[in-house]
Chain A
Amino acid sequence: MSITKKYWKGIDELKETPAFLKSKDQEFANPNSIEEFLADEKLGESSTERRDFLKFLGFSVAAATLAACEAPVIKAVPYVFKPENVTPGMPTWYASTYYDGISYSSILVKTREGRPIFIKGNKEHGFTKGGVNPQIIASILGLYDSGRLTGPKENGKDSEWGTIDGKIKGSLASAKSITLLTNTVISPSMTRAIEEYKVKFPGKFEHVQYDAISYSAIRKANLQNFGSSFIPSYDFSKAKVIISLDADFLGTWLMSNEYAIQYGQRRNPDGEWMSKHFQFESVMSLTGSNADYRAMTKPSELATVLSYLISKKGVNTGVASNLPAPIKAVADAAAAALASCGNQAVVVCGSNNLGLQLLTNKLNQLIGAYGSTIDKTNTLNLYQGDDEKINQLVSTVIAGKGPDVLIMSGVNPVYSLPNGQEFGAGLKKIKTTVSLSAYMDETASKATYVCPPHHYLEDWADYSAKQSEYAVAQPTIRPLHKTSSALETLLVWIGVTGRGGKDSKAAYDYITETYTGLGLSDFNFTVHNSCVEKPFVVATANEIVFKDAAINGLPKAANLEVILYQKSGIRSGEYANNPWLQELPDPITKVTWDNYITMNPKEMEDAGYATTYDQENGLNLATLTVNGKSVTLPVYPMPGQALKTVGVALGYGRGANGEKIGKSAFQTKEYGGHVTDENGNPKPIGANVFSMTKFENSTYNYTSAGSISAAEGKYIIAATQIHHTVMARHSIVRETTLGIYTHNDKEAYNPAHVLQKLDEHGNHVKVPVSEFDLWEEHPVEVVGHRWAMTIDLSSCIGCGSCLIACQSENNVPVVGKDEVRRGREMHWLRIDRYFSSDEEATIGTRKSEDIDYDNAEHPSLNPKVIHMPMMCHHCNHAPCETVCPVAATTHSNEGLNQMTYNRCIGTRYCANNCPYKVRRFNWFNYPSYKKFTEVNPAQDDLGRMVLNPDVTVRTRGVMEKCTFCVQRIQSVKLAAKVESRKVGDTDFATACSEACPTNAIIVGDWNNEASVVRKSSKDKRAYQALEEVSIKPNMWYKVKVRNEENKELATLQNTKSHH
C-alpha cells in the first residue's frame, strides 16, 4: 500500500513551505530573539545601572518577604436581607430567552452572588431545544462592557430621563409624522405598545421593521406562491436529502442554532438513517464544509442548478439549465437522491433574490417538502423586515423629506445600509431623532436623543419567535447603569406608564397584562420554564395552494462575482466589540480579528497573490470595487471558493468614525493602545462592506459584480490554522463513507494500530499497540471514577460554540491579534480544520508512478473538510507529566491530568512533550498588562465580574490547559455525596459538551459501565488519536462518516480490509 489520503490544515502545510517546515517542529513559534531584544533602541535609553538593578532586586526580595509574612485584611460583607434563593458560593440558574434581532434561543443563565456569569441553552424548554451559537454564549460579556452607555444623552451630552422624556413627549405631540424604525419585533408586548402608538397618533404613525441581514425575498416569494408573507419552519431532522444553495443554515442562515440540532440528529451513521447533504455555494461556509457533496457554484449559477433539478422532476421553468461538468456531477447525484427519498427532502436557498426563492419554492413544491420537512403553519416571526418599505423610508430621509420624529430601536442603519453615510447625513435634517441604542454607535451618535435600553439580562421581555410559542426573558441582575427598558421607554412617551427607575415594574406589569390578554395563565410558571405553548390560528386552506409566479431578476453572470457573506462569529457586526467573538477563529479560514477577501488559491497563484503567510509575512492587499464602492483588504486563500468569485465578510469596520462602541472593536498596537488614523480616531477592525450591498429587484442583494486589482503592500494576518501542528502524524483524523461503513468490518475504516512481536512459539504475531507498555498500568481503569470524553467527528459541525463556552467557563484570557499572530492564543480548546484532497504517498514509500501529479485535480481547489475539536486528552500515560521538573502536572486517580498552577515554574517542557499540542503557556499578565487593556475584559472592574469564581485566574509564567472542567466534576461528586447517591450519568457535563448543538461531545464516568461515554468509546467507530504513541488518553474520537460515494476512499479502504 503506497497511497494514502492527505490531510492538511493550511496551504502552507500542503505546499510544505520553508517557513512551515521550520516551524512545524516548534511548539513555540519564534520567540523574540536576544539580538532583536538588544537591538531595541529604547533599551539603551533606560538609565538603570547594574548597581541600581541589584538594589531593586534586593529591595523587592525584602518587600516580597515582608509582604508574604502578613496576612492581608479581607473584608466580608454579608447581605442585610439575604434573598431567599441566593446562597453565597452556590450558583443560581434562571431560565430566560435570548433575542437580538438575529438569533433567538431559550437559554439558562448561571448567576453567582447575583452576577450572571455563564449562558447555556435550555434543553428542556423551548423549540430551540438548547441550541445556541457563539454569539449567544458570548453575549454575557456585553452586560459588563464598559463601553455601554450608562444613561440617556441629549446631543451627545449626559442628561436625565425626566428631562429627555419631557422633550420627546413634546416633539411627539407636535409632530406631523412619526416613524418607528426597529429590528423585527417579535415581542407581543412591544407589538401591543406599537398598536397604542397607532391609536394615539392616528394617521401620523408608521412602524418600519428593518433587519441588517434581510430575508425579505423568502417572504415575498411565499406571498407570490402562497398568498401569505411568511417564513416557514424547516425541519432538517426529517430531511433525508438536504439541498442547500448558498444557505449557511448551520452557521448564519435564519434559525441556524435550531437547525444545527435537527441536522445533528441525522448525521449519526448508526441511526435509523443518515441524511445526505448537497451544498452549492461560492464561499466555503460552515455548512458547506459539512456537506457530503459540495459544488463550487457562482451566485449566477444557482438558478441554473435549481432549474436543472426542477427539470429532472419533469418541469420546465424557462430558466437555462445547462451546467458545467463539476457542478452537473453533483447536481446529478442530488437529483438521483431526490428521486429516491420521496418527500423527505428540503431545498434551502440563502440568496435574498426573489427569483431564486421562487425557484426554490417550486422545487420544494415538486418534492412535496411542504407539510413534510417544511411547516407553513407554525411560521417564524423573525426577519419581518420589508426591504421595499425600508428603501422608501431611507430615500425620503436622504431627500430631507423624512418624518418629524424618527425613533430607532435595535437598528444601526448608518452602518448597515448600503447608503448608510447618506442616511446618516439625512438624519440631521429630521427635527427629532431618537435612538434606543446601548452604545454611542454609528446611528446613535447622529441622533438628537439617545435612550439606552437595559442589557437583555437586566430586563423583562416577552417573545413569540414562532406562532406556537410564547417566551419570557427575565432579569438576572439589577440594572448596572441608569438605563431603562425599551418597552418602558416607549410606554412612557405615550403616557401609559411613568418612569420607574432601577426597580421599575412598568415593563413587567405591561408584559403580564399582555400575557393574560393572550388567554394564557400561570405567568410565574412560564417564567420558571421561560416559555409556554401558545395556541395559534392555522392558515386557511386557500393559502396552502401553490400558485406559480413569474421568475425574473435572477443574478447575472459577471467576470467577477462578489459575495458578501457572514462569518459565524461576527455575523452582522452587532458584537464587533466582543473580544471573545473577535478572537474566535473563523470555522474555515481560522482567521481571528479581521475580515479579508476570500479567493480560491488556484486563482491567487495565477494572479500572483501570496497564498502562504506566517507571523512575519502577511498577505497581499487588493482593492475590491463593487457598485462604485471600494475597500482594500488582504486576499486570503480559501480552498473551495468558486472560481471567478470572491467573498468578503460583513460585520467588520464598525466605528469607522471613532464612534464609541467599546474598546475591543478597534485595532490595537503592539504594546497596547489603539491604532489611530489621521484624525486621532481609533482604527476599526477590517472594512465595512455593507456599502456594497445593493437594493435591486425589491430586495437588498448580497451578491453583485465587481472588480479586483492588486494594491500596494502586505497585511499581517492572525490565523490559528497551522498553529500547534501535529508534526507529520497521520492517525489524527479518520473518515469513511456510509457505504464502506455499513458493508465492511472495522478493519476497513478504523484499523487498530498493531505491532509485530514474537509469541511464545517464536512466531511473528500482530498485537495491538496497547499491549506494549513502558509503564505500569494506572489504576484508573476500574477503581473509582474515570472521566472520559468521546467526540463524534460525524456530528461535529465546527461551529465554535464549545470554544466560547470553554472560554466563558474557564476564564480563558483574550490575547489580541498580535499575540494570536505569534501563535500564543490561549484557547484551551481549538477546533482543527483539516482539508483533505488527493492522495499522497504513504510515509516510507516512494511516490507511485501511477499517479499523474500534473493532471491531478488541484488539491486546494475544492477539498473536503473535517472539523476536529482538540483539547487535553488526559492521557493515563501522559508524556507531559514525566517531564515536569517540579511535579506541577500530575495524574489523578480519576484519570485527569491535573495542572497545578502554583507549582508551575514555566519550563514549558510539558508543552514540548505533548503530542496533541494542547498546552498553553501564559506569556503575560493578561489581567493587568497594558498590552491587553483593550482586548481583555478582565482588565476593568466591570469586565472582571464575568469571571467564574470557581476557576483560578492564571498568572504569567504558568502552563494551563483543558481541565475537563474539573470544577464541575468536583461539584457533581459533592452533590452526590451530600445527597447520598451515585453520580448519575447525565450529572456531569463540561462546558463544551453542554454547548454542542449536535451532541458530538459526550462526557461521563467511564468506570460506570452503563454510561453513554463507555458505550460510545467501545463503538466500532471509536479510535484514539495518535494511538500508536500508546499514551492511553481518556478521550476517543469517532470516525467521520460521509454519506457520499467516494471511489478513491473506497479503493483505499477496501484494499486495507482485505490484507
Chain B
Amino acid sequence: MRFKQPKNKMNLPSIYMKITNYQLIKYFSIVFICLAILGVGTSSSVFAQTGEELFNQRCTQCHQIHVDGTGPKLYEAQKRWTDAGEGELIIEWVQNNSALRASGKSKRANKIFTDWKGSVMNTFTDLSKDQVKSILTYVDSQKPGGDAKGKDGAAAVADGEEAKDKEEGSGWLWYILGTIFITVILSVSGVRRQLKIVTSESPQQERLTYFEEFREWCWKYRKYVGIVSLVLVLSVLVTLFKTLGNINVMEGYQPSQPIAFPHSVHAGINGIDCKYCHSSVTKSKSAGIPSVNVCMNCHKHISGAGKPYEAEVKKIYAAAGWDPGAKAYTNKTSPIVWNKVHVLPDHVYFNHSQHVVAGGLDCKQCHGDMTKMKEAVKVQSTAELNEVEGNLKLSKPTLTMGWCIECHGKYQINLGDGKNKYYEEIHARLKKEKGQKTYKRHLNDNKGVSVAELGGWECAKCHY
C-alpha cells in the first residue's frame, strides 16, 4: 500500500502558522531589545563580552570566578600574579603552563602546580595575548555578589505567561467577500422572484414558497445538483480528513521543569556534545535523561557560587546528595522528576539508536537547534525545524504520524556505498531478484531508495 503525498495547498489557517508568526514577532522583539541594550552599553563592554564568551567556552570546565574548582578561582588572578611580581607571565601561563614551568623563569608557576597537587592545566596555545587579557578583564569585572543577571542564559527561563494570540489572518477578507456574494445572490433572486410574480398571472405560482421553488429548481437540474452535492460532500470529507491529519497537540509543548536547565549554555556556549549527557542515544530506544552523576562530573566543580544560577545547581546537589562545603556525598539522594517533553503514544515504538546510528540523523532534525534553546525544552514546530540548517524540510506537524512517514518517504538511504555491511547485503539481495524488478525500479526513478521503499511505511515497523 502506498501513501500518496498529500498536496496540502489549501490555505487553512493551521495552528502552527499562528504559533510561528507569534514567535517570530517575539524573537524579533527579543533581538531588537538586545540590540538596543547593546547600543546603549559602553564600548568597553564589547571587549568584556568576548572575554565572557571565551571564558564560558574555554575555562568553565575547570575554573569558576569566585570559588576554587578543579582549578583555582580566577577572580583577581591577574592581581595575584602582579602581587607576586610576575604580572606579565600570567599570559604565558594560560597559553602554555607546562612550558612556563619547564623554563623555570616563574616561581609562582611551580608554586601553583604544587599547591594544586600536581593537577595539570590544559594548554591554550591558540589563544592570543589579547584574548587571554580579555578573559582576565572579564573575570575581574565580575564583582563578588555582583548583579550580572541576565548574562548567563540560565536566568532566561521560560517567561511562562502565554500572550494572547495576536495573529491577524487574512480570513476576514474571505468572510466579507462571501457575505457580499451571498447577499448579492439573495437580493438578485428576490428581485427575480418578484418580477416573476408580477409578470405571471397564474395564482398557482403565487403560493409557492421559497423552499418549494428551490426544490422545484433542484429537481429540474437534478443531474447538476446531484453531481455538485456529491463533489461538495466528498470535498468536505477529504478536507476533514486532511485537517484531522494535521491536528497536532504536541507542537509548542513546553512543560515547566524542576531545574531551569539551559541547553544554550551546555550545548551552545560550552559545546558539550549531545551524546555526552544523552549517552544511551546510540545504544537504546530512549536517548535517556542524564542521571545526576553525569551532571556531577562537571558540577562538582561548577557550583555557580555567587552566580544567578547557583540555586539551580544546588538542586542538583540536593538530588545527588552532595555537600559542596564538605566536598563529599551524603548518600541522601532524591531523584529529579523531570517532565517528559517529547511524548509518543504507547502504541508507537521509536528507537533513537535506529535513527541516530543506523539512519545517521542529527539530533536537530527532530529536536531543533538546542544550542540556542535558552528556556525549558519545547517541542519545536515544523516551521522552526525547517529553519535549522541541514534539516530535511517537512510539512506535517511535529510528532504526528504524518510527520514520521513524510520523513520516511523523503529520507534517502545510500544502499550501494558499502559503508554499512547490513545495507550492502540488502543491496546484494535486491540484485538477485529475477529480472531485477525492484532493483530497476529503485534505479530508474532517479530518487534513490527512501526509508519507505525499504519498508519504512509498514505498520509493524513502529506498531507492535
Interface residues of B in 272-320 (CB under 8 A from A): 280, 282-286, 288-294, 319-320
A90 near B336: Cβ-Cβ < 8 Å: no
B433 contacts the other chain (CB 8 A)? yes
Is A952 a contact of B291 with CB atoms below 8 Å?
Answer: no
Residues of A within 8 A of B425 (CB): 982-983
Kindly state whether residue A894 has any CB partner on chain B within 8 Å. Answer: yes
Q: Considering only CB atoms, which chain B residue lies closest to A963 in the complex?
A: B464
Give chain A interface residues in 949-1004, CB to chain B under 8 Å: 950-953, 963, 966-967, 970, 973-974, 976-978, 980-983
Q: Which residues of B contact A970 (CB under 8 A)?
A: 349, 351, 461, 464
Could you tell me the distance between the alpha carbons of A783 and B253 in the complex, rounded to whole angstroms? Answer: 41
B166 at the interface (CB under 8 A from A): no
In the complex, whether A844 has a CB less than 8 A from a CB of chain B is no
Are A783 and B429 in contact (CB-based, < 8 A)? Answer: yes
Residues in B with CB closer than 8 Å to A1 are none
Say whether B346 faces chain A, with CB atoms less than 8 Å apart: yes
User: Which of A73-81, A351-359, A912-920 lies at the interface with chain B?
Assistant: A73-81
**B338, A77: Cβ atoms closer than 8 Å:** yes
Partner among A74, A75, A87, A900 whose Cβ is within 8 Å of the Cβ of B280: A87
Q: Which residues between 198 and 254 of chain B lie within 8 Å of chain A, taking CB atoms?
A: 249-250, 253
B280 touches A963 (CB 8 A): no
A79 to nearest B CB, angstroms?
4
The 8 A CB mask of A63-80 against B (1 = contact, 0 = none) is 000001111111111111
Interface residues of B in 426-464 (CB under 8 A from A): 426, 429-430, 432-434, 437-438, 454-455, 458-461, 463-464
User: Which residues of B have CB within 8 Å of A892?
Assistant: 455, 458-461
Taking CB atoms, residues of chain B closer than 8 Å to A76 are 289, 337-340
Across-interface contacts of B421 in A (CB, < 8 A): 980-982
- Once the chains bind, are B430 and A783 in contact (CB under 8 Å)? yes
Q: A80-B319, A90-B283, A900-B463 are in contact. Are A978 and B335 (CB under 8 A)?
A: no
A88 at the interface (CB under 8 A from B): yes
Query: Are A977 and B422 in contact, CB atoms less than 8 angstroms apart?
Result: yes
In the complex, per-residue mask of A585-606: 1 if CB is within 8 Å of any chain B CB, else 0: 0000000000000000000000
Whether the Cβ atoms of A782 and B458 lie closer than 8 Å is no
Contacts of B353 in A (CB 8 A): 974, 978
CA of A963 to CA of B255, assembled, Å: 37
CB–CB A783/B290 < 8 A: no
Docked complex: B328-373 residues within 8 A CB-CB of A: 333-340, 343, 346-347, 349, 351-354, 357-358
| A967:B349 contact, CB within 8 angstroms | yes
Q: B354 touching A977 by the CB < 8 A rule? A: yes
Q: Which residues of B contact A68 (CB under 8 A)?
A: 249
Answer whether residue B420 sits at the interface, using C-beta atoms and an 8 A cutoff: yes
**A61 CB within 8 Å of chain B:** no
Chain A residues contacting B40 (CB-CB under 8 Å) are none
Distance in angstroms between the alpha carbons of A781 and B438 in the assembled complex = 12
- Whether B422 lies near A980 (C-beta < 8 A) is yes
Please give me the residue from chain B that is nearest to A1009 by CB atom: B432
- Chain B interface residue number, banded: 35 or more
Chain A binding surface SS class: loop
Cα A781 to Cα B437 with chains together (Å): 12
Of B253, B334, B349, B437, which contacts A71 at CB under 8 A?
B253
Distance in angstroms from A405 CB to nearest chain B CB is 40
8 Å CB contact of A784 from B340, B426, B437:
B426
Does the CB pair B338–A78 fall under 8 Å? yes
Residue of B255, B321, B460 near A896 (CB, 8 A) is B460
Q: Is A512 an interface residue (CB 8 A)?
A: no
Q: Which chain A residues lie closer than 8 Å to B340 at the CB level?
A: 73-76
How far apart are A1010's CB and chain B's nearest CB, in angstroms? 12
Is A890's beta carbon under 8 Å from chain B? Answer: yes
Question: A88–B335 Cα gap in the complex (Å)?
Answer: 15
Question: Do the beta carbons of A77 and B335 come within 8 Å of each other?
Answer: yes
A967 CA to B464 CA, complexed, in Å:
7
Assess whether B1 is interfacial by the CB under 8 Å rule: yes
A950–B349 touching, CB < 8 Å: yes
Residues of A within 8 A of B464 (CB): 898, 950-952, 963, 966-967, 970
A901 and B336 form a contact (CB under 8 A)? no
Residues of B within 8 A of A978 (CB): 282, 353, 357-358
Contact of A893 among B349, B433, B455 (CB under 8 A): B455
Q: A87-B284, A782-B432 are in contact. Are A75 and B338 (CB under 8 A)?
A: yes
Determine how close the nearest CB of chain A comes to the CB of B377; give it in whole angstroms.
11
Q: Is the CB of B284 within 8 A of A88?
A: yes
Q: Is A173 an interface residue (CB 8 A)?
A: no
A782 to B321, CA, bound (A): 58
Residue in B closest to A982 when the chains form the complex, CB atoms: B425
Assess the A79–B422 pair: CB atoms within 8 A.
Answer: no
Give the residue of B249, B250, B283 whose beta carbon is less than 8 angstroms from that of A87.
Answer: B283
* Measured CA separation A171–B333 after assembly (Å): 41
Q: Are B463 and A72 in contact (CB under 8 A)?
A: no
Q: Which A residues are CB-close (under 8 A) to B337?
A: 75-77
A72 to B340, CA, bound (A): 10
Complex Cα distance, B425 from A1056, in Å, reads 44
A846 within 8 A of B: no
CA distance A486 to B282 in the complex (A): 42
Contact B292 A78 (CB under 8 A): yes
**Which residues of chain B are near A782, meaning CB under 8 Å?**
429, 432-434
Q: How far is the CB of B2 from chain A (nearest CB, A)?
A: 12
Contacts of B420 in A (CB 8 A): 977, 980
**A74-B339, A890-B458 known; A80 and B320 CB under 8 Å?**
yes
Residues in chain A near residue B354, CB distance under 8 A: 974, 977
- How far apart are A1024's CB and chain B's nearest CB, in angstroms? 22
Tell whether A890 pairs with B459 under 8 Å between CB atoms, given A71-B343, A73-B255, A978-B353.
yes
Do residues A78 and B288 form an inter-chain contact, with CB atoms below 8 A?
A: yes
Rounded to whole Å, the gap between the CB of B447 and the closest CB of chain A is 18
**CB-contact partner of B334 in A80, A951, A977, A980, under 8 A:** A80
With A75-B338, A89-B285 given, is the CB distance from A974 to B351 under 8 Å?
yes
With an 8 A cutoff between CB atoms, is A559 at the interface? no
Q: Which residues of B contact A70 (CB under 8 A)?
A: 249
Contact B335 A71 (CB under 8 A): no
Minimal beta-carbon separation of A970 from chain B (angstroms): 7
Instruction: Determine the distance from Cα of A953 to Cα of B347 in the docked complex, in whole angstroms.
Output: 8
Please indicate the chain B residues that have their CB under 8 angstroms from the CB of A983 in the complex: 422, 425
B347 near A901 (CB under 8 angstroms)?
Answer: yes
Quote the shortest CB–CB distance from B300 to chain A (angstroms).
13
A1007 on interface, CB distance cutoff 8 Å: yes
Residue A902 lies at the interface, judged by CB distance under 8 Å to chain B: yes
> In the bound complex, how far is the Cα of B339 from the Cα of A72, in angstroms?
10
Contact with B along A860-902 (1 / 0, CB 8 A): 0000000000000000000000000001001011101011111
Inter-chain CA distance A546–B222, complex, in Å, is 105
Residues of A with C-beta under 8 A to B283: 87, 90
- A953: which B residues are within 8 A, CB to CB? 346
Given A784-B455, A902-B347, A78 and B289 contact (CB-CB distance below 8 Å): yes
Interface residues of B in 390-446 (CB under 8 A from A): 419-423, 425-426, 429-430, 432-434, 437-438
- Please, could you name 21 A-B residue pairs with CB atoms under 8 Å apart, sorted by A? A69-B249, A74-B340, A75-B338, A75-B339, A76-B339, A78-B290, A78-B292, A80-B333, A88-B288, A90-B280, A90-B284, A783-B433, A784-B455, A893-B458, A898-B460, A899-B460, A900-B459, A900-B460, A974-B351, A977-B423, A982-B421
Interface residues in chain B, defined as those with a beta carbon under 8 Å from any beta carbon in chain A: 1, 249-250, 253, 255, 280, 282-286, 288-294, 319-321, 333-340, 343, 346-347, 349, 351-354, 357-358, 419-423, 425-426, 429-430, 432-434, 437-438, 454-455, 458-461, 463-464
Closest CB pairs A-B (n = 3): A89-B284, A898-B460, A977-B358
> Other CB < 8 Å A-B pairs besides A68-B249, A890-B459, A951-B464, 15 of them?
A74-B340, A74-B343, A77-B335, A78-B288, A79-B293, A87-B280, A89-B352, A779-B437, A900-B459, A950-B349, A952-B346, A966-B460, A970-B461, A978-B353, A980-B421
- Which residues in A have some Cβ–Cβ distance to B below 8 Å? 68-82, 87-90, 779, 781-784, 887, 890, 892-894, 896, 898-903, 950-953, 963, 966-967, 970, 973-974, 976-978, 980-983, 1007
